[in-house]
Amino acid sequence: MSDTVKVFFEGNTYEFPLIVGTEGEKAIDIQKMRQKTGLITYDPGFGNTGSCKSTITFMDGEKGILRYRGIPIEQLAEKASFKETAYLLINGMLPNQAEINRFSVLLNDHSLVHEDMQHFYQNFPRGSHPMGILSTMVNALRSFYPELKEVDEEINITVTRLLAKVRTMAAMSYKISRGHKVVYPRADLAYTANFLNMMFDSPVKPYIIDDDVVRALEVFWILHADHEQNCSTSAVRVVGSGRVNLYAAISAGISALWGPLHGGANQAVIEMLSQVHEKGIPLHRLIERAKDKKDPFRLMGFGHRVYKTYDPRAKIIKEWCHTLINKLNISDPLLDIAMELEEIAVRDDYFIENHLYPNVDFYSGIVLKAIGFPTSMFTVLFAIGRLPGWIAQWKESTDDPDWRISRPRQIYVGKPRSDYIPLEERD
């Protein structure tokens, strides 16, 4: 196989380097294309454009493969803790016992939030969406924790602070939004159990930690921990390329994740299924609307830019739906509706031809609902899970010798040159 790609244009032949990835993915390196040919490429949504070389996550959309640092998601979801997964993504290898112990101590040491931050929370209008609050408060962390002089220490402490505090900040936004007393992190609880306790413990009803509930949330976070150059990760990299501090770059990622086509889909799925349940909407009607090009309705939780087969994460989270609902002895009509909807959609020609299968969001909302989270918190939970991936990708970009400030070009299709018309001469 040649190590270059030839481009023929206006009678000339140009050669560009061919890049081949670990799993055989191929790319034409066009960094010098404009300089050599005057041409740029056009790729709205960057569906065919590699923004970087990365060693963190590998996805194969055709085969439904997802690996973090080479380890299959199925094995991590079965055997790893969320802390181990976060450490793996950020540091590139699974931690040994001493490393995971030190990581746990650091996460606990940094889990408190500056008391003055509560004033910010108190002044958000009631009913503010927790994603808007979280994005604002993460950005505000720089004001409370100024930059340290030593670069490596600044990065390591900032990374640990974010991982440790994001749970406390998320739980605070929930408690304060309900007018309840904030519950502080406890030194005797591990990462995930600590968060559940901060969310649901109250003086009138002490929260009982259930190991299956803890594991279900851990698996949810492991499944969401990273996903190559998705919309929110690209936002973190683009904003980070301006060399802003990590809090600001992560705040941009949270904002990007908020959208219903991205991280907001888990909330949108539950709202869609609830509508079906409450209004008795026939499922075939939903399928028809999803197929109608004149109708902007999308079947939430279906389809994916990369996966053209079943999202491997959806398979795992669907199993946890059943485990949790059986363990907690609850029945959820939305699960029954979701399973029936999947049955119909995966047999429909439109969905088959467009490779539209359930993605991770289709069933994750049912797990979160079974645990007791309000739908308004679902995307915040996605953000907590995705935080290690955002951090790992940001760190990789800052160490990347090829990395430059992000500044895409465009094709101008507006008006040709024209002169200014004084106000009095305009029609």
Which residues are known catalytic residues?
304, 361
Min dist. Cβ of residue 135 to ligand SDX (A)? 16
Kindly tell me which of 55 and 118 has the beta carbon lying closer to ligand SDX: 55
* Stretch of residues binding ligand SDX (CB under 6 A), selected from 168-176, 196-204, 259-267, 321-329: 259-267
Residue nearest to ligand SDX (CB): 303
Min dist. Cβ of residue 19 to ligand SDX (A)? 21
* Stretch of residues binding ligand SDX (CB under 6 A), selected from 125-133, 300-308, 333-341, 417-425: 300-308
Contact status: 137 vs ligand SDX (CB under 6 A) = no
Q: DSSP state, 309?
A: S
Residue 17's beta-bridge partner residues? 4
CA 133 to CA 388: how far, in whole Å? Answer: 20
Distance of CA 116 to the CA centre of its chain: 29
Question: 10 Å Cβ neighbour count for 141?
Answer: 23
Contact status: 69 vs ligand SDX (CB under 6 A) = no
CA 378 to CA 380: how far, in whole Å? Answer: 5
Q: Three-state SS for 156?
A: helix
Question: Which one of 64, 185, 303, 312 is in contact with ligand SDX (CB under 6 A)?
Answer: 303
* Stretch of residues binding ligand SDX (CB under 6 A), selected from 69-77, 117-125, 240-248, 353-361: 353-361
* Stretch of residues binding ligand SDX (CB under 6 A), selected from 62-70, 166-174, 298-306, 331-339: 298-306
Question: Which one of 137, 171, 273, 299 is in contact with ligand SDX (CB under 6 A)?
Answer: 299
Min dist. Cβ of residue 56 to ligand SDX (A)? 13
Q: Where are the alpha helices (DSSP H) in 21-147?
A: 33-37, 73-79, 82-91, 97-109, 117-122, 130-144
Question: Which one of 227, 237, 318, 369 is in contact with ligand SDX (CB under 6 A)?
Answer: 227
Question: Which one of 192, 230, 241, 397 is in contact with ligand SDX (CB under 6 A)?
Answer: 230
Kindly tell me which of 341 and 356 has the beta carbon lying closer to ligand SDX: 356
Question: Which one of 39, 40, 208, 261 is in contact with ligand SDX (CB under 6 A)?
Answer: 261
CA 340 to CA 183: how far, in whole Å? Answer: 39
Contact (Cβ atoms closer than 8 angstroms) between residue 135 and residue 254: yes
Q: Where are the alpha helices (DSSP H) in 178-298?
A: 191-200, 211-223, 231-240, 246-257, 265-279, 283-291
Question: 10 Å Cβ neighbour count for 133?
Answer: 22
Min dist. Cβ of residue 263 to ligand SDX (A)? 6
Q: Three-state SS for 71?
A: strand
Distance of CA 130 to the CA centre of its chain: 15
CA 388 to CA 394: how far, in whole Å? Answer: 10
Contact status: 289 vs ligand SDX (CB under 6 A) = no
Structure tokens at 74: 């199925």
CA 19 to CA 29: how far, in whole Å? Answer: 7
CA 178 to CA 191: how far, in whole Å? Answer: 23
Phi/psi at 183 (5° precision): -100, 130
Residues in 101-130 that interact with ligand SDX by CB under 6 A: none
Contact status: 67 vs ligand SDX (CB under 6 A) = no
Contact status: 385 vs ligand SDX (CB under 6 A) = no
Contact status: 57 vs ligand SDX (CB under 6 A) = no
Question: Which one of 301, 312, 365, 385 is in contact with ligand SDX (CB under 6 A)?
Answer: 301
Kindly tell me which of 200 and 351 has the beta carbon lying closer to ligand SDX: 351
CA 255 to CA 131: how far, in whole Å? Answer: 7
Contact status: 356 vs ligand SDX (CB under 6 A) = yes
Min dist. Cβ of residue 351 to ligand SDX (A)? 8
Residues that bind ligand SDX in the complex, under the rule CB under 6 A: 227, 230-231, 261-262, 265, 290, 298-305, 354, 356, 359-361
